[in-house]
Structure 1
Amino acid sequence: MCINCGLNEALGKLVAANPGTPLSRFAVSRRGFVRGALACTAALGASGIPAFAATDGKPTYIFRGGKVYTQNPAMPWAEAVAVSGKTILAVGTNAEIDKLKGPSTKVVELGGRLLMPGFVEGHIHPFLGAFLTSGVDLQVPDLDAAVAAIDAYAKAHPTGPIRGFGWRVDMFGPEGPTRQIIDKIVSDRPAFFFSIDGHSLWANSKALEIAGVNKDTPDPIPRFSYYARDKDGFPTGYALEVNAVLQLVNAVQPISPTAMGQLMVEWMPKASAAGITAVFDAGVPPIGSDQATILSMYTDLDKQGRLPFRVVGSYIVKSPPIDTAVKELEALQKTVSSELVEISFMKIIGDGTQSGYTAWLVEPYSDRPDFRGASPFSVEEWIALIGATDAAGYDVHVHACGDGTARMVLDAIEKAIANNPPRNRRHTIAHLVYVTDEDMPRFGKLGVNSEFSGNWFSGDPDTLINMKQRYGERAELMYRAKSTLKNGGTISFGTDWPASGYFSTFKPLDSIQIAVTRQLIGKKDNPILAPLDERLTVAEAVHANTLGAARQIRLEDKIGSIEAGKMADLLILERNIFDGDVYDIASTKIELTLMNGQVVHGTA
């Protein structure tokens, strides 16, 4: 499900490419990349985040007359909130807050609407998502709908390459997607579309022609990254895994620094409209081996006053060697820093996915009884990497789809706690598709946070069919966030956008509804993912996407709840999701997003 591990290095090279220039012959400096990209995106019209300031020492804003969900156990609900500049001044009743009003205070009548903390995304890939998901959206029910969407998009965009994202393997037969399907719609210009998991590409004949992919073209990595072929050996238009995918994309429409910056700027308002006020960026595409290049785009946007959310980032390690990892993280932390941006976590790619048999399991796969996956690190390397990171005062954030990886990480953290001085640790294990009963209590005992993508908890065909094949009876015990809480653990949410098994989203309200229902959004009678008692309450799911995620990234003293002295990261929702039908949560409109006391979505 998490695609960042495979695309990071290759996409970084692609990002650095000038249009038409082969990746292997192009080099660009980090600062040159950032300045060039952001200088061009500045022309998109984002002249700055709107701000409103009182000048008399009184509140900038007063929000009153509604339901205020604070996440503060001492006062879970309130009627009104006063904001002064970037911070929350006071929380209380309408009468109490009204007394603070000054002549220049802007009063916002909630009119019964819900005011709540801004959403904190505990695991997301904004740059990667902006790149993969641009173009036509193919997250549709079936192939006929996908064809119709491509046709409509092609007519609306009559020139240039056509790209898109979101098709699923179940839309096609055993042979997968074919170029002939697209050729019937557009044959005179290239078209290519990323699959919903980001591991495959569907291309038309023109794209194959431009890329020089034909009957005689060797596969980049035979049997792993390759071009599907028909019975006569001709490419069908179905490219699998990173090397083959990027060979096509780089030839057809290489992404320039300007384009990457533009895609990110275009996505930021969507994030604000979804209520996102802080993110944990779980890994960006490096330029060569330099991870600071893309991360520096965040700080440049912040210094321009154009970044609409806080960013906590990470240094990513996906394979040995590990000897310099801590020094690299320390250097990155010093290099990339601003008011809204900090780099302070060690992201470790601990395994892959169940779909490709690359998740590391305790017991073998049910449909491959002689295989249980593998890890990119030896036991000794796991202990050394986590131990050194912990000793340096940093926390790890580990991709672990498999229960074998989760167990290994818990073992390594346990050793680090025993060997290193006491401190306030915030280690996190992410995804946790399945965890054994034996290991479940260890999260709470060791103080290890469990990061989930609530949007993965649905009873969708991929989970009910494919995962059942991989796990057998274990598939009845997937995504046990409720059990984590019952065993004394903590949880946080992050969509892992753009990665997904069935449908991709960066909207926290989608995650919250699915975590509460364990059903796909749409119909109330959609299949429910067992076990039913793992469904979270609305309050538990909201906490995971606010204060829980803020705690994960060490910002709970600043954000995640509505309390005096905290930063003014606030949302106004059109209705109270705690009182209404849980099946209406995802469709609830966010009418205002305030970040750092500034309006980044809607109108106050």
Structure 2
Amino acid sequence: MHSPAGIRFSDLIAPPRASAAPAIDRAADGAKRLSPACLCTASRENFLSRVVESDRHRIAPDGDWRRPRRLTRPLDWTCAADAWHAMSKQADDAALSDGAPAAVVSLVRWLQQDGEGIAAPADASPGVPPSPSRHAAACESSEDDEILLRGGRIFTNDPDQPWCDALLVRGRRIVAAGTGEALAMQVRPGARVVELAGRTVIPGFNDAHMHHTPDPTGVRLPIDHSSSWDEAHARIAEACAAAPPGTWIFGTMSEAVTNARDATRTVLDRIAPKHPVILLGITNHTNVVNTEAMRRLGIDDRAPDPVGGWFERVPPYGRLNGRIHEYAQWAPQRCFASMASVEEGAASLRTLGAECLRLGITTLQNMSWTPVRRYVQMLDAAALPIRVRVIRFPPSGPAGRLVHEDIDVGAPASPLVTVEGTKWILDGTWVERGAALGRGYADAPWQTGRENFSRAEIMQMLAESLRSGEHLLLHAIGTATIESVLCCLEAFEPPVDWKQSGFRLEHGDGFTDVQMARARRLGVLVVQNPSHFVLAGQYASRFGTGTRYASFGSLFANGMDVAIGSDGPLNPFLGIWAATTHPANPEEAVDRETAVAAYTWGSAVAEGLQAEKGRLAPGYLADLAVLSADIFSVPAERLPGIESQLTMVDGRIAYESPVR
């Protein structure tokens, strides 16, 4: 995971050609040149010993949160397992007898004894969905298929015709919008007619910013945003008492635990001396690990800080205290996420897909901690009936950013899945006081936040995006970080049309009015996350009264393009409620039509597909949701309870509520 900047990991561990053994030697030689952050960088002997050790705890789930879920097949645990899989499958007796080390012989023979095989195709395992090829065929709508939806209140999001009461869908696209009576005359024999009975229809929600990452095998702690450090202590102790030594224990920390100064490796070691523990920050900008987790994740006390991140150390000797920040926790967290097998990831994705359809979400734009290649494998196995844009989320190492990681993934099996765009994190968040404000925090004036990358590095990110044609997403929350981004955008000569380039700024909570005006001139699109606005007290305490924060309505007022992503609770109706009430700063609230438009067409703009999605107009893809209540008129407190009663993706009805 810590390969030198500009070197692709796939170049270091290319699959074998003529013989397995020489390729394994090349893989190991390449791996030795890297810092050990994952099993993919381990020596052959260390790799084998660690995966065999991990295979000791096969425990069936019994519904008790303290018991680990089923064990993933351990060779699926590495973030670059493809090369090992290819080697094991291509190795034969001739190759093995050609001087391969004893550890490799043992590894291959162990694999050969596994009836399923480590990299078995999806159809080979029970409970795995249909193969990607069958899914791809199923997703193809015939151009002759027709569906007429009529008798509803349809919000088209089309400025030329904002509302209608009927839509005609042919194949994948909408061919007409108007009245039911007029469109009925265009329907061919055999078309399906959906009677809307006055229900509200909107374009399918497009979640522009989320971080779905399947859990690996282990015990997920039942701690949440309100849990105290003492409560987390108790839960970890319970898990250790119930789960065998060596079982992973993990959970998402609350704001209080994230910022607890005694949430350290030393304390975790006392509670869990024999279990690897990783506590993930509520914002995923600060994690805490114990010594056993450090050993499993390849974190050494002598590890140098990576570019864009840092380890907290105990003076005077520099021993790591287990608190790791920003890009220091990127590689370990990705290593941890990679421990989920393809089958486990597919199961998690199927659950996610079903929930999306129930909520009227037809597109996800996901930045997973799971490495892109592995995540695409999970998507191929899951065969979801919704659209997924996989956005690269690379780590960094002491030598720099891994700019080439997963750049050559190839085409996913499903036509509904794309891999496009790269995201970099320029600062933290206000929750852990990591967003760079350019001044002291109101509740901790000695803290100002921190920018992860210099302006020179930001310029490189922008230049890389322009050269590759890939969309660039930059996380920037604090006012000082936003200023750095704007200065870099303005520095290009000749000036660049950043809107045309697909550039996005994620969050932007600390925008000033002057910065908004500059961002509009530059063509900056902002992806905001209204679900964050429910943390009203934390916003006020961090930013202080009398200052602008949690910008939303003012973005629209300044003429900027705005999209919405969840970056938290998936429910888009909760997001609409937060956008239209804005508990943190009511003056920044917007009306419901504006919020729905941002969550649909605005998010399509954020992926460069505004001519394809986000509107219910002729020529647009037929992605839509028929709602259980009128999102534009129900009392605000009822918004989070709305669901979709019929969800259409790519011209196909992908979900219908059992009771309509």
> Is residue 2:81 matched to residue 1:28?
yes
Instruction: Specify whether residues 387 and 268 from structure 1 end up closer, same or farther in structure 2 by C-alpha distance, changes over 3 A only.
Output: same
Structure 2 residue aligned with 1:300: 380
What's the offset of the Cα at 1:489? 0.9
Structure 1 residue aligned with 2:196: 110
Decide whether the 8 Å contact of 1:443 with 1:450 is kept in 2. Answer: no
After the TM superposition, which residues 497-576 of structure 1 pair with which residues of structure 2 at under 5 Å, given as runs?
504-519=568-583, 529-530=584-585, 532-576=586-630
Structure 1 residue aligned with 2:654: 600
Structure with more relative contact order (C-alpha pairs < 8 Å, separation 6 or more)? 1
What's the offset of the Cα at 1:119? 0.8
Aligned counterparts of 1:12 and 1:285: Cα–Cα separation in 2: 14
Decide whether the 8 Å contact of 1:282 with 1:313 is kept in 2. Answer: yes
Moved more, 438-447 or 387-396: 387-396
What's the offset of the Cα at 1:57? 3.5
- 1:493-528 per-residue CA deviation (whole Å, 9 max, x = no partner) reads 1122xxxxxxx3122222111111113xxxxxxxxx
Letter in 1 for 2:122: A
Structure 2 residue aligned with 1:313: 391
Aligned counterparts of 1:270 and 1:579: Cα–Cα separation in 2: 24
Decide whether the 8 Å contact of 1:349 with 1:400 is kept in 2. Answer: yes
Structure 1 residue aligned with 2:362: 277
> Is residue 2:509 matched to residue 1:433?
yes
Out of 539, 548, 561, the position equivalent to 1:490 is 561
Aligned counterparts of 2:383 and 2:483: Cα–Cα separation in 1: 43
Decide whether the 8 Å contact of 1:491 with 1:548 is kept in 2. Answer: yes
Aligned counterparts of 2:257 and 2:78: Cα–Cα separation in 1: 38
Aligned counterparts of 1:177 and 1:193: Cα–Cα separation in 2: 9
Aligned counterparts of 2:461 and 2:560: Cα–Cα separation in 1: 24
Aligned counterparts of 1:453 and 1:122: Cα–Cα separation in 2: 9
Structure 1 residue aligned with 2:209: 123
Instruction: Specify whether residues 211 and 371 from structure 1 end up closer, same or farther in structure 2 by C-alpha distance, changes over 3 A only.
Output: closer
Letter in 2 for 1:555: L
What's the offset of the Cα at 1:246? 9.8
> Is residue 2:117 matched to residue 1:63?
no
Unpaired runs of at least 5, structure 2: 1-33, 42-46, 55-73, 87-116, 315-320
Letter in 1 for 2:203: P
Instruction: Specify whether residues 174 and 333 from structure 1 end up closer, same or farther in structure 2 by C-alpha distance, changes over 3 A only.
Output: closer
Letter in 1 for 2:351: E
Decide whether the 8 Å contact of 2:385 with 2:654 is kept in 1. Answer: no
Decide whether the 8 Å contact of 2:373 with 2:409 is kept in 1. Answer: no
- 1:3-54 per-residue CA deviation (whole Å, 9 max, x = no partner) reads xxxxxx9999479995744999996226949993872896435447797999
Aligned counterparts of 2:324 and 2:180: Cα–Cα separation in 1: 59
> Is residue 2:455 matched to residue 1:383?
no
Aligned counterparts of 1:391 and 1:409: Cα–Cα separation in 2: 18
CA RMSD in angstroms comes to 5.2
- 1:251-271 per-residue CA deviation (whole Å, 9 max, x = no partner) reads 999544443343333322223
Q: Which of these two proteins has the greater Rg computed from alpha carbons?
A: 2
Out of 15, 39, 45, the position equivalent to 2:122 is 39
Structure 1 residue aligned with 2:430: 354
What's the offset of the Cα at 1:315? 5.8
What's the offset of the Cα at 1:318? 5.4
- 1:156-192 per-residue CA deviation (whole Å, 9 max, x = no partner) reads x99996966455244899677899x99xxx9999997
Instruction: Specify whether residues 422 and 370 from structure 1 end up closer, same or farther in structure 2 by C-alpha distance, changes over 3 A only.
Output: closer
Decide whether the 8 Å contact of 1:19 with 1:255 is kept in 2. Answer: no
- 1:49-107 per-residue CA deviation (whole Å, 9 max, x = no partner) reads 79799989361x22222211110111111111122222222211121222234442222
Out of 84, 92, 95, the position equivalent to 2:181 is 95
What's the offset of the Cα at 1:117? 0.6
Instruction: Specify whether residues 254 and 416 from structure 1 end up closer, same or farther in structure 2 by C-alpha distance, changes over 3 A only.
Output: same
TM-score normalised by structure 2 residue count: 0.68
Aligned counterparts of 2:195 and 2:258: Cα–Cα separation in 1: 51
Letter in 1 for 2:144: G
Identity %: 21
What's the offset of the Cα at 1:573? 0.9
- 1:280-326 per-residue CA deviation (whole Å, 9 max, x = no partner) reads 2235433xxxxx4135326634xx8535223252364657867984x
Letter in 2 for 1:57: D
Decide whether the 8 Å contact of 1:55 with 1:104 is kept in 2. Answer: no
